[in-house]
C-alpha cells in the first residue's frame, strides 16, 4: 500500500502531537510493508511568520497532490489583533475549503479506563460511543457578507446553507448510522432560525431513503444539556458547522479530555485529518500535550484513506491498552488515582508504539502458524 501524506503541524502543541501521530504511521508502514511518504508544509501562525500568509500556495499545492492531509492545530495569541481573514485560523478555513471535504467525522468514545477522568459519573459515560457528523464548509464560518465596521460599531456574519449542502452531509450521517446503532439525531435551532428550518426539512426528506434508521431532531440548546446528561442516547449526531464545533468539544468531557478526540473530514478531493483540539498555547512546549487525539486521528487515516481497517483497529487497541495499563498525560490524570503513571507527550507516543508493535508481532506470528 502506498500513501502520500501532507503533514501540516501548525502552531503550539500541533507539532508535538503530530510527531507522535506520524511515528505511529511510520511504524504501521514498516511493520506492514507499506510505503508511506510524508511531505511537510507550513500553515497557521508559523506560516505567517515565515511567509506572510496563513496558507502559503506551496502548502496548498503540496496538499492537493497528496492522498491525505494530517494537520496538527493552528492559532497563536500573538496574532489576536489581526482581522479573522489574516489570522492563523484563516489558513485552516482556507485549506478546508480548498480540499473540499464537507463531512467532518468526530467520534467521541468513553474509554473504560478513563471513566475516572471524566467529571461525569461512570454510569453516565459507560458505553458511550457518539459519532458527530459536522458540516464543515457552510454556515457562519463561510457565509457572506461578513465584516466589522469600526466606524459604525456594527459587525455581521452570515449563516447560510443550501438544500444541496444539507442533503450531501445528511446522506453521510445516514449511511454511517446504517452500520452503527441506526439512529441519527439532527441538531438545529429551528424554533428561531430559517436556516435551521431548511436544515430540518431537508434532513427529514433525506431520512425517507433510510427507513431502517431512526431520525430525531433536537434543538441545539437543550442538546448541549442532553449530551452531558444522557450521552448514551446518541449514536450519530448530525450538525451544521458552528453547532458541531461547540458540541463536539463539549463531548470531550465524556472522553475525559479534548486531547483524546480525533477527526476525519471526507467527501472532498483529499481527506483532511485533524485532532479536534486547538493549539493549546497554555501548555505548548511543556510536554503536557496529550497525543492520543492525534494518534487516533492517524488511525482514521488508515481507515478512511488507506483502507487498512485492521491496522486502524490495532492502533485504537494499542491506545486502549496503554490507558488500561494506567499511563496518563496530565489532562487525563484526574486526582492521581492509584495505579496511574504520569507520562509526557513523547512517553505516551512511545508507549502506544510499543503496544502496537507487540500486537502486530502477535498477528504476524499467528499468520505464520
Could you list the active site residues? 141, 189, 221, 245, 249
- Ranked by CB distance to ligand COI, the top (closest) residue is 89
Q: How many residues bind ligand NAI (CB under 6 A)?
A: 22
* Of 31-39, 141-149, 173-181, 287-295: span binding ligand NAI (CB under 6 A): 287-295
Q: Which three three-digit cell numbers place residue 1?
A: 500500500
* Nearer to ligand NAI (CB atom), residue 13 or residue 190: 13
Residue 93 binds which entry of ligand NAI, ligand COI, Mg ion, none, CB below 5-8 Å type-dependent: ligand COI
Give ∠ CA 271-26-269 in degrees, rounded to 5: 15
Task: Please state the closest distance from residue 173 (CB atom) to Mg ion, in A.
Answer: 19
What order do you get walking across the sheet with 271-273 strand by strand?
Answer: 35-40, 2-10, 68-73, 271-273, 264-266, 103-109, 129-135, 236-239, 183-188, 214-219
* Nearer to ligand COI (CB atom), residue 69 or residue 93: 93
Is the separation of the CB atoms in 247 and 132 below 8 Å? yes
User: Does 328 show up as a binding residue in the annotation?
Assistant: no
* Nearer to ligand COI (CB atom), residue 245 or residue 331: 245
Task: Please state the closest distance from residue 21 (CB atom) to ligand COI, in A.
Answer: 17
What's the distance, Cα to Cα, between the start and end of the chain in Å? 24
Distance CA 93, CA 15 (A): 19
Among 69, 103, 227, 258, binds ligand NAI (CB under 6 A): 258
User: Does 117 show up as a binding residue in the annotation?
Assistant: no
Task: Please count the helices (runs of H) and the strands (runs of E) in the chain.
Answer: 13, 14
Quick one: DSSP state of residue 345? H
Q: From residue 315 to residue 344, what is the string marking binding to ligand NAI with x (rule CB under 6 A)? A: ----------------x-------------
| Cβ-based neighbours of 56, under 8 Å, separated by 6 or more | 41, 42, 43, 47
User: Does 280 show up as a binding residue in the annotation?
Assistant: yes
Is the separation of the CB atoms in 227 and 120 below 8 Å? no
Residue whose C-alpha cell is 449563516: 159
Residue 311 binds which entry of ligand NAI, ligand COI, Mg ion, none, CB below 5-8 Å type-dependent: none
Residue 221 binds which entry of ligand COI, ligand NAI, Mg ion, none, CB below 5-8 Å type-dependent: none
* Nearer to ligand NAI (CB atom), residue 18 or residue 218: 18
* Nearer to ligand COI (CB atom), residue 215 or residue 260: 260
245 binds Mg ion (CB under 5 A): yes
* Nearer to ligand NAI (CB atom), residue 248 or residue 305: 248
Among 107, 259, 267, 349, binds ligand NAI (CB under 6 A): 259
Q: Which three three-digit cell numbers place residue 54?
A: 496563513
Residues that bind ligand COI (CB under 6 A): 89, 92-93, 245, 276
Distance CA 235, CA 338 (A): 33
By three-state DSSP, how is residue 64 classified?
helix
By three-state DSSP, how is residue 56 classified?
coil
> How far apart, in Å, are the Cα atoms of 60 and each of 55, 66, 174?
7, 10, 31
How many residues are listed for the chain in this entry? 369
Q: Please state the three-class secondary structure of 90-115 as a single string.
A: HHHHHHHHHHCCCEEEEEEECCHHHC
280 binds ligand NAI (CB under 6 A): yes
283 binds ligand NAI (CB under 6 A): yes
By three-state DSSP, how is residue 142 classified?
coil
Positions in the binding site for ligand NAI (CB under 6 A)? 13, 17, 73-75, 89, 92, 257-259, 274, 277-283, 289-290, 293, 331
Annotated binding-site members for Mg(2+): 221, 245, 249
Positions in the binding site for Mg ion (CB under 5 A)? 245
Annotated binding-site members for NAD(+): 278-290
Amino acid at each position: 500500500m502506498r500513501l502520500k501524506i501532507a503533514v501540516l503541524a501548525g502552531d503550539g502543541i500541533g507539532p508535538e502531537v503530530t510527531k507522535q501521530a506520524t511515528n505511529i504511521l511510520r511504524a504501521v508502514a514498516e511493520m506492514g510493508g507499506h510505503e508511506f511518504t510524508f511531505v511537510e508544509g507550513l500553515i497557521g501562525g508559523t506560516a505567517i511568520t515565515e511567509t506572510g500568509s496563513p496558507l502559503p500556495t506551496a502548502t496548498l499545492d503540496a496538499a492537493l497532490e497528496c492522498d491525505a492531509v494530517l494537520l496538527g492545530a493552528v492559532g497563536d495569541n500573538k496574532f489576536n489583533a489581526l482581522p479573522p481573514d489574516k489570522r492563523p485560523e484563516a489558513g485552516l478555513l482556507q485549506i478546508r475549503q480548498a480540499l473540499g471535504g464537507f463531512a467532518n467525522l468526530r467520534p467521541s468514545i468513553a474509554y473504560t479506563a478513563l471513566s475516572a477522568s471524566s467529571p461525569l459519573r461512570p454510569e453516565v459515560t459507560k458505553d458511550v460511543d457518539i459519532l458527530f457528523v459536522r458540516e464543515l464548509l457552510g454556515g457562519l464560518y463561510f457565509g457572506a457578507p461578513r465584516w466589522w465596521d469600526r466606524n459604525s460599531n456594527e459587525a455581521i456574519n452570515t449563516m447560510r446553507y443550501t438544500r444541496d449542502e444539507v442533503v450531501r452531509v445528511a446522506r453521510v450521517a445516514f449511511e454511517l448510522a446504517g452500520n452503527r446503532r441506526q439512529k441519527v439525531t439532527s441538531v438545529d435551532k429551528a424554533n428561531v432560525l430559517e436556516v435551521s428550518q431548511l436544515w430540518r426539512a431537508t434532513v427529514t426528506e433525506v431520512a425517507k431513503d433510510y427507513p431502517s434508521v431512526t431520525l430525531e431532531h433536537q434543538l441545539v440548546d437543550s442538546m448541549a444539556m442532553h449530551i452531558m446528561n444522557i450521552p448514551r442516547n446518541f449514536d450519530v449526531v448530525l450538525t451544521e458547522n458552528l453547532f458541531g464545533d461547540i458540541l463536539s468539544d463539549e463531548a470531550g468531557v465524556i472522553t475525559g479530555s479534548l486531547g483524546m478526540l480525533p477527526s476525519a473530514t471526507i467527501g472532498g478531493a483529499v481527506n483532511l485529518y485533524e485532532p479536534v483540539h486547538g493549539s493549546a498555547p497554555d501548555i505548548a512546549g511543556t510536554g503536557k500535550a496529550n497525543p492520543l487525539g492525534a494518534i487516533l486521528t492517524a488511525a482514521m487515516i488508515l481507515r478512511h484513506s488507506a483502507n487498512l481497517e485492521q491496522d486502524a483497529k490495532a492502533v485504537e487497541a494499542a491506545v486502549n491498552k496503554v490507558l488500561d495499563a494506567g499511563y496518563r498525560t496530565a489532562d487525563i490524570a484526574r486526582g492521581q488515582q492509584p495505579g496511574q503513571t504520569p507520562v509526557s507527550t513523547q512517553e505516551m507516543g512511545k508507549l502506544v508504539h510499543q503496544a502496537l508493535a507487540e500486537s502486530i508481532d502477535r498477528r504476524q506470528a499467528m499468520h505464520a502458524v
